[in-house]
Structure formats: structure tokens, C-alpha cells
Structure 1
């Protein structure tokens, strides 16, 4: 059987390798402490569960959910965004429900790219961003983001020959995996850059609320730099802020032409979520102030515990300003061996982390810790890591 050439770039996946390494370690009797996946271990809010439970008995929610039957959800999203950022959103033309942000980043290239066109992606960056480009027959031009540049791309480094064939750029701040926050001034630069070249600007925004300290209540939105929605679209998920990862509920908002194109692709691939899930998401939005601040505080406590424990074993990682991760430069002699480090660590100790190379070439030399366990478990993980490093 012969498969399409578009599958070829998707053959390798270090996270699949890590999954095999975790299974091997578990089969050998190791207790797995999995810090490799950014899947929140906190419970879904009770108000969301109650709304979904009530909907289950409502027969009006049991049919297909086409676009026009999502109006109530789109209106709630638009009102919430305007409350948060002060930018009006038209729920009819500027909002689209999604089955997770990954649906948006996977389907947008199908709407924007012809075979051979370029997409500008962050390196390191979230792996699924590249997957959608390859499935659309496009080419990826990685934009390296380095510590000395605040983990922000340098647009002047993009070759003119690439720019001539570029149709889209994907940004994502607060950034997974580096934890960097992009200032509004950078977003204004990115919007101007894309406006001048007719490039669609996609901002993947799952960690909007995951900013620590008192300097920001929430991270900047790309639409604050493009309030007229000339070129930008933003994707938000309920998976992180509201611990609803398994419910696969998200949305896109922004430029109405991009929303319309994404809607066209979506219409021939899937319908929408069960309306009861949308009711649960609305209940979460309405209770934002009682849900999100305690959630962020929990992850900040975990962040502080893991940073402190790593410092105590002389692994001096920076304290991340945002997200639910720690991006750690590997100690000697493991620098430039992130996959070998991660697989060896889980096989020897049961502690699983994500190798930086899995996020792109510029991620080599780092590993990512996900703050998805309580402080005492994180401290146990660090004690096992210390034994591994000394050995």
C-alpha cells in the first residue's frame, strides 16, 4: 500500500519515543512521575460539570451542532473577550468554536497554503504547528528564538526568498516550551511586519491567564496590537485556565476573512462539540474570578517548589514568568543530548521530562518540566534526578 508523500515529514516523533521509554520503565517496575505532558491534573470546575450534567437531560442538545446553533457560545466568548481586553468582537463573523486549539492550527494551513508556500514558525515551538503545514503541502521556515533575544524571533533574519512565498506566521506567547512572555510592543512589530507583506498572523494563546507575579493580570493579546483585525487571528482553549482538556473546547477569534476561511475548512471535516460542553465552558467563563486565580496560584506554588529543589542539587534553572512549565538548560555532560537524557532518565528513575529537541532544532540542549504534580511529588522527582546525575 502506498501512502501520500505528505505523511513523510510526520514519520519521526520524539514524544512517541518517550512514550515507549515510559512504558519500558513501568514494565520494569519503576513508579512513573510523568512531567513530560502539559495536561493539567487539577479537576474541572464544578460549575462546568453541573452545566454539562443538566444539559444531558435536555433533548434539545442531543442533535448535531452546526454553526448557527453555536450562537450562544460565540456571544459569550465575544462578551468575555471584550470584558478582558476592551476590544469589541462580532460573534457572527469574528468567532468560531474549535475542538481544541490544535484543530485551528492544523486546519488554517489548509485554508492559506498552496503546495510549496511557506509558514513561519517558532523554533522551538509546539510540534503540532508544523504538522498542519506539512499536511497542507506547505514548507516550514523555522524562526529560531534564543535566550539572548528574550526568546523572540528576529524578523530581519528571514531570507527575502522565503518571504516572497510566505502566507502565514504562527506565534504563541506565553510560550511553550520556553515560558517567555512577548510584550505588546513585539506584537505591534509582528502585526506591522505581516500587514506590509500580506501574511496571515495566527496567535496560539492557550496560556493567556498563566502569568505569575503582580506585573500582569493576563498576557497581551495579539488583537491589542491589531484592534481592527486587519491580519490577526487568536486561538484560546479551555484546557489550561479551566482544566477542561478532555472536553476539547476552544475557539478562534479575530480577522473575519480568516475566520470565514477556517469555517469553510471545518465545515467539510467536522461539526462542533456537544452543546452541553459549550454550556459548561460558558459557566467556566462566568466564574473566571473564582476559578482562574486559585489555579494559577497552585501552579505558581509548584513552580517555586521545583525551582527551589533543582537549585538545591546545583541545577540552576531560571524562574519562569508564565505557563505551567520550566525550561531547563541541560547540565554537562548532557548538553546537546536532550533525547538521550530524557530517555535514560525515565528508564533509570521513572521521571519523565520532554527533550528540547522535540520542539525544534533550537530546543536542543534543554528539557521541559511540566508542573502537573503536587510539590511533594516534584521534590521526589528531583531527588531521583540528583541520584541519576551523580551516577
Structure 2
């Protein structure tokens, strides 16, 4: 039996590797403090759960959910965007429901790339961005993100032969894993660059609301309000603690939205309509739970950074996301996988190796702040003992 060659680059990923390391540590009797996966431990808002619960009793929601049945959700998404960013949106042609934004980033290359075309991806970046390109038989050009550039790509470094074969660029700010935030001015540069080189600009935007210290995360559509080259993906996983509900949407250029809809029509229907009812309640109802979640993660950030500083591991204080991006101390500065596997084995603290997000992530680790402050401080104390040993 032969398996498709396109699966070769997908044999491992950062989360699967750490899952195996965690399983081995548990088998050896360790109690795990898992900071490796950015899955919020906070509950979904009560009014969201109530909307889903009410839908369960309605038999009309139990059948297949095709495109036109998602119209109320698409309208709620369009209204949310207009309120938040002042951008007019057509829910019929410029919005598409997604089964999580990861589904969108994985399927968009099938809609945009021909075999051999290049996608310009962030390095480090979220693993599913690369996975979709491999499945589309595309090529990846990694755009290095360096601390000295604020973890923003330098477009002038992209070679002309690559640009001649490139069809899409993927950005994501606030950024996972580096926690960097981009400005509208940067997005304007990106839009102009993509317009000049006939690229589709895909912006993965799950941390829209997860900003601290009065920081605001702009939409790429603020730099491209006519949606000439851009499409943006928003997930309810972070803002509304709905990761397991797998609900998101793409919004932007009508041609790209139509192409992505064609791909989805061959692969899946949509979520259960009750989940979409919950998503409508989230987008249309009180946003108090969003503010509360942001305040919770801001408190965790402060406590964790202070704890790391106390043990002699200085890290920058991020202004966004639910992560800490930390440069590794010696002797681990060039071995993030070795550090993470040895750490979980010795202490039960699981974190993500920077190289798992791309070559330029080597020398860093990512901590996900998905536990209460006292648990985070316990994790730091265990790491202090590990580093001392």
C-alpha cells in the first residue's frame, strides 16, 4: 500500500511531539502542568451556552447545515465587524462560516495555489499555515521574524524568483507564538506589497481581543477596506472561550470567499446550527465576558513574568495573546526540543519548543498561560529547580 507523497512533511508537528512527551512523563508518574497548548481553561459565556441549549430542543436544527442556513450567523459576523472596525461587510458575498479558523487556513491554499506555487509564510508561525500549503502541493517561502524587527517580516528580503511564483501571503497579528502586534501602517505596507505582486493576503486573526495595556489590534481590512486583496479569519476560540465548539469565519475579498466556499462544498457542510446560534449570541450579546477573559490573562501574564524574573529568567512582557515567548538560557540556547522534552520528563511542566513553529523559532520556548496564577508560579518553581540542576 502506498500513501500520498504530500503527507511526508506532515509526519510530525509541535503539538503531537509534546503530546508524546507528556504521555511518557505521565507513565513515569509525573503530575503534568500543561503550558504547551493554547486551549483556554475559561468557560464559554452563559448566554452562549443557553442559546445552544435552546437549539437542542428544536428538531429543525438537527439536519445538515448548508450555506444558506448560515445566513443569520454571517449577518451577525458582518455586524460585529462593522461595529468593531467601521468596515462595511456584505454577509452574502464577503463572509463564510468556518469550522475553526484552522480549517480556513488549511483549505485556502487549495483555493489559491496551483501545484508548485509559493506561499509566503511567517517563520516562526502557526503549524496549520504550512500544512495547508503542503496538502495543496505548494511550496513554502519562510519569512523570518526577528526580534530586532519587532517580529515583523521584511518584504524587501523576499527574492524576485520566489515572488514570480508566489500566489499568497499569510500573516497573523497579534502573533502566535512571538506575541508581536502589528500596526495599521504595517498592514498598509503588506496590502501594497500584495497588490503590487498579485498576491492574496490572508490574515489569521484569532487574538483580536486578547490585547493588554490599552493596546488595540487592528484588522488588515482597515488597510484594505475595499477588500481588493485581503481575507481575514476570525475564531471565537479565544475571545469567547469556544475552542472546542470549532466556530469561526472568513471575511474579505468576494472572489477568495467564493473560491473557499467551493472547496468547502466538496469537503464538509457546516457546524450544527445550535453552535451557530451560540456564536450569534456571542457576537451580538454582552461583551462583558470578553473583557473578563482579557483581564484574567493579563493578571496571569503579570504573575508569570514576575515569577520568571525572580528565578533569573528575564522575558519581555507581551502586550497581546495568551503566551509568553521566552529566549532560552544557556546551555539550551540552540536546543528547544531538548529543553522541552527534558523539562517535562524531570518536572512534569510541558511547554512548546520554539523550533516547532519554524526554523527561526529555535532558541525560544512558548508558554501558554492556561492555568490560574498559583499553578503558573508552581510551574516556574519547578523550572527553577530544573535549571539549577
Structure 2-normalised TM-score? 0.99
| 2:267 counterpart SS class | coil
Give the drift of 1:288: 4.3
- Asked if structure 2 preserves the Cα contact closer than 8 Å seen for 1:42 and 1:243, the reply is yes
* Residue 372 of structure 1 pairs with residue 386 of structure 2: no
Match of 1:11 in 2: 11
Give 1:213-228 correspondences, 5 Å limit. 213-216=213-216, 219-228=217-226
Give the drift of 1:11: 1.7
Match of 1:40 in 2: 40
Structure 1 unaligned runs (5+)? none
Q: Which runs of 4+ in 1 moved over 3 A?
A: none
Distance in 2 between residues matched to 1:84 and 1:9, nearest whole Å: 39
Distance in 1 between residues matched to 2:78 and 2:243, nearest whole Å: 21
Distance in 1 between residues matched to 2:310 and 2:72, nearest whole Å: 51
Distance in 2 between residues matched to 1:19 and 1:120, nearest whole Å: 28
Deviations 1:177-214 (A, max 9, x none): 00000011000000000011110000000000011012
Match of 1:77 in 2: 77
Distance in 1 between residues matched to 2:385 and 2:157, nearest whole Å: 42
- Asked if structure 1 preserves the Cα contact closer than 8 Å seen for 2:13 and 2:127, the reply is no
Match of 1:201 in 2: 201
Deviations 1:95-144 (A, max 9, x none): 00000001111111001111110000000000110000000000000000
Match among 350, 359, 362 for residue 360 of structure 2:
362
Distance in 1 between residues matched to 2:285 and 2:371, nearest whole Å: 24
Match of 2:187 in 1: 187
Give the drift of 1:289: 2.3
- Asked if structure 2 preserves the Cα contact closer than 8 Å seen for 1:284 and 1:291, the reply is no
Q: RMSD value over aligned CA atoms?
A: 0.7
Deviations 1:194-238 (A, max 9, x none): 01111000000000001101243xx10000000000000000001
Distance in 2 between residues matched to 1:12 and 1:98, nearest whole Å: 25
Match of 1:178 in 2: 178
Give the drift of 1:286: 2.2
Match among 238, 242, 245 for residue 243 of structure 2:
245
Distance in 1 between residues matched to 2:47 and 2:14, nearest whole Å: 37
- Asked if structure 2 preserves the Cα contact closer than 8 Å seen for 1:14 and 1:339, the reply is no
Deviations 1:23-82 (A, max 9, x none): 111111111000000000001111011000000011111111000011111111101110
CA 1:215–1:19 in structure 2 vs 1: closer, same or farther (change >3 Å)? closer
- Asked if structure 1 preserves the Cα contact closer than 8 Å seen for 2:215 and 2:319, the reply is no
Aligned residue-pair number: 389
Distance in 2 between residues matched to 1:134 and 1:281, nearest whole Å: 31
Distance in 1 between residues matched to 2:80 and 2:189, nearest whole Å: 26
Match of 1:318 in 2: 316
- Asked if structure 2 preserves the Cα contact closer than 8 Å seen for 1:325 and 1:369, the reply is yes
Distance in 1 between residues matched to 2:121 and 2:321, nearest whole Å: 19
Deviations 1:316-339 (A, max 9, x none): 010011000000000011101000
Distance in 2 between residues matched to 1:238 and 1:15, nearest whole Å: 21
Match of 1:56 in 2: 56
Distance in 2 between residues matched to 1:15 and 1:111, nearest whole Å: 26
| 1:297 counterpart SS class | helix
Distance in 1 between residues matched to 2:299 and 2:375, nearest whole Å: 13
Match of 1:328 in 2: 326
| 1:164 counterpart SS class | helix
